Amino acid sequence: MNNEDTLRPEYPADLIQSGQRGKYAERYRAGTNIVLIAPDLHKLFPDSEAVNRALRQYAEEHHLALT
């Protein structure tokens, strides 16, 4: 692994240090519909197709509207 500082000279250190961590995180989350699946459930629902299929079946069985 290369531990050498690779910051290019044209990028001033004060510019790099003035950044705000997570500045756009809330805006990103608002524009997505991503949910985290618990590890034990991931074994049952390994991909989005499996999750969507299960949710559609649940909605149908419970007479929930999809609109």
The tally of CA atoms less than 13 A away on the side-chain side of residue 38 is: 2
Assess if residue 6 is contained within a domain.
no
CA–CA separation, 28 and 26 (whole Å): 5
* pLDDT score recorded for residue 52: 93
Q: What pLDDT digit, counting tens, does each position of 11-28 carry?
A: 777 777 777 788 888 888
Q: Answer yes or no: is 57 within a domain.
A: yes
67 falls within a domain: no
- pLDDT at residue 39 greater than cutoff 70: yes
42 or 32, greater pLDDT:
42
Q: Does residue 8 belong to any structural domain of this protein?
A: no
pTM above 0.75, yes or no: no
Q: Is the pLDDT of residue 1 over 70?
A: no
Of 44 and 28, more confident: 44
Instruction: Report if residue 7 sits inside a domain.
Output: no
User: Domain range holding 25?
Assistant: 13-61
| Count of the separate structural domains present in the chain | 1
